[in-house]
Amino acid sequence: MTVPTEDREALLDRAPSGVAFDGLRVDETDGEFTLETPNDEWTGLDEADLEEALAACEAYVTNWRYWQETVGGVGTARRAFLRWCERAPVADADPEANPPGPWSERGEEAAAEPLAVPERYDALRDGIDRQWGQLCITARFVDVENPDGERVYDLWHVDDADSDLADLEVYDDPRDAREIATYDADGRYRPLKTAPTLPGGWAFTGLSGDDLVETVEFFYPATVANWHRELRGNLDVDHWLETADRQTGIYDVIDELPREAVDWMAEACCVDSQCLRRREWEYEDGDDLDADGGDGPFPCREPCSLVIAAARKWAILESESERTYELELTTSELNQLEDLIDAVAEGQVDEIREADVNDGANRYRARYLRAKRFDEDGGLEATQVDD
């Protein structure tokens, strides 16, 4: 094996100031080179010796050139994310950060320990898959037979991971992701880009690293930057109270939402079944909400506009006083009301078959209850019994 000439020349250029990257070390003192990898060491080399020795550690050299020359951007979120994509160590991860980086005990990422260069090169020949929300990302070599270190990236919906590429709509312009992410599979507008309702049937193939990050950001805005901030231990979280306090205009009322209602709101909107961001904001610093924040790989640093808009409605509704009503229901009808609320809350209404009259949220069961218990004004026959 031979190291590409430009890679060798780039290394020789940098050797006097020392090269240390991903297990490769090259130093030069008074015209003598030292070369080191985790398994080998060569000392006292002249240029010809160095060239020969470099051929024995080609993967380390082309890996160094890809990250330092092609990707660059040391310390940026873009670089860290591309490193994560191929399970390379992310050098600027803060081990004390909470959560402790992408290889924490979080969900399926727990098994994805960083790979050393030789193992990573083996894996990149087949492609390394990572999951980011509902996105499946594959990092692979451009030239599998004779890898020169150059990587490209493929991206598709996790549900399409086993699909034939010929069955998918193939794109290569990151801006197309914005349109794909606008509507769900039923054509309904997606107001929350991180809702788990991204439609499938598409693929981006052969993207450069820059284009991959741009595409991911069109699907899930700001997720890479916030993930990177968290990784470095400097995610700036705005909790509920501080966010609510700074609202003006029609949203000025949301700071009147009772403490317990904020918990109900987080349970309604921010759990994994509704949003793939992991909620890191709480009621206020030191006062955590009971609702589960979720297990997503990317954090949510402040209540989003969808939650703010919904909070306004709940703040108005919660300003009403509670009343006691009397209405007649059989036990089965009371159970049916619970079934109806559950089915709507879980988005299961469309899954209930018309013939399944055992399900309390069945359409015919609901229509029967309405026919029986609604009065002529179209509401439940209920009587207020308090003053």
For ligand SF4, the binding residues (CB under 6 A) are: 192, 194, 269-270, 275, 277, 279, 300, 303-304, 306-307
CB of 195: closest distance to ligand SF4 in angstroms? 8
Complex with ligand SF4: residue 123 or 222, whichever CB lies closer: 222
Complex with ligand SF4: residue 109 or 282, whichever CB lies closer: 282
CB of 116: closest distance to ligand SF4 in angstroms? 35
Cα(336)–Cα(171) distance, integer angstroms? 47
Complex with ligand SF4: residue 203 or 269, whichever CB lies closer: 269
CB of 273: closest distance to ligand SF4 in angstroms? 11
CB of 199: closest distance to ligand SF4 in angstroms? 19
Complex with ligand SF4: residue 174 or 303, whichever CB lies closer: 303
CB of 268: closest distance to ligand SF4 in angstroms? 9
CB of 152: closest distance to ligand SF4 in angstroms? 30
Complex with ligand SF4: residue 308 or 382, whichever CB lies closer: 308
Complex with ligand SF4: residue 93 or 307, whichever CB lies closer: 307
